[in-house]
Structure 1
């Protein structure tokens, strides 16, 4: 489950926003293409959308107008276009807030928290992923396997969550980098591979031949939903 979708065509800025919010406990997805933005939001149904106005393919005003009648979450316009008329247009189209760039990260975080405090929390059960004897709670970020709590770093938890949410599908390194950092794989960074190795050790993968997190040569990684008995 994604908490916040960031629609920002500046890949570096969008990645920085996503990384900052993830460090403060939010599950974030960054999308840079205005043409894909509405489909991404509809697919993930986040609690909040941070929506830039100036986007390639389709601008934020048009996305907000189309999305608002069927999207119950918070829409915050996050843009350098701070003229009064733009703010009025954005709010009249259904945006809940209009935030000017640049903005201090701590101030942005405070605005986000204020909005989400007023948004009803989803049912706690919806935050749980269960595969056999593996339980992964996306709300509390707690992982249990065979009735034992597994201590994971924040980065390890995030990778496990992304893999588990894509259970049964091969996720390439590019898929994983985009989900975790909002940027594509550069072909040289081996941090994902190192993190997968640590996850395997923590769960005793391969020791019993289960291959819970499989390497698919030349393609990526696959979370084996049947390997957690």
Structure 2
């Protein structure tokens, strides 16, 4: 019998990254039966997009994935994702496990282990990293507050009304704060397509988001378009006046 856990599982989400759909959907049913909210990705290059959209509390990650392997996915995630990452894989060699842990995974579980073992270890990780998970979704920068989990965006205690797409765009910029993100990365992460060099759709979305933030009193330099490169959100600009 699995020990009683402290966290309310009904509010806990898991992203399964697994290209074998039989394995993925079986695990999805098992986790949902325990009360988890479950999201799925079947390719390595779809993970960032799913994390931005759903901000999962934990990620179960296979190694052998189409387009981008699980190791590279983990390395990319650790640039911004602070929640638990668990490799769940059929490659249960010592070398595979050591590599997974060295690049930032929190645990490594072979697929031939029982669901009870997986669940127990998952619950342990979720409890130990509860505060870290919350920090992964919320940004408090002076008078600016953003919490994707609560669907909250405020400046000087005044709510800023954003669409779902704008929440995802702002969250994407916040987790990449103070660095230039390319148009290609923005298109790939938020829309799942490569930038064709001609589309101005992302520029329009950035302009609309920026207009709402400026109207709320945030400095116009908070989000800047970097010519021929992409976009940059600057936390330093929050100390400046409008």
1:33 is the counterpart of 2:69 = yes
Q: CA RMSD in A?
A: 4.5
Count of residue correspondences: 191
In the alignment, the residues of structure 1 paired with residue 73 and residue 48 of structure 2 have an alpha-carbon distance, to the nearest angstrom, of 15
Alpha carbons 2:221, 2:237 under 8 Å: kept: yes
* TM-score of the aligned structures, taking structure 2 as reference length: 0.57
1:226 is the counterpart of 2:233 = no
Offset of 1:48 from its aligned partner? 3.8
* 3-state SS, counterpart of residue 226 of structure 1: helix
Alpha carbons 2:17, 2:43 under 8 Å: kept: no
* TM-score of the aligned structures, taking structure 1 as reference length: 0.59
1:202 is the counterpart of 2:212 = yes
* 3-state SS, counterpart of residue 122 of structure 1: helix
How far does the alpha carbon of each residue in 1:104-125 deviate from its partner, in whole angstroms, 9 at most, with x for none?
Answer: xxxxxxx9xxx67982223545
* 3-state SS, counterpart of residue 235 of structure 2: coil
* 3-state SS, counterpart of residue 46 of structure 1: coil
1:46 is the counterpart of 2:83 = yes
Match for residue 131 of structure 2? 122
Alpha carbons 1:6, 1:51 under 8 Å: kept: no
Offset of 1:143 from its aligned partner? 0.8
Residue segments in structure 2 that go unaligned for 5+ positions in a row: 1-13, 20-40
Q: 2:154 aligns with which of 141, 144, 156?
A: 144
Matches within 5 A, 1:154-169: 154-169=164-179
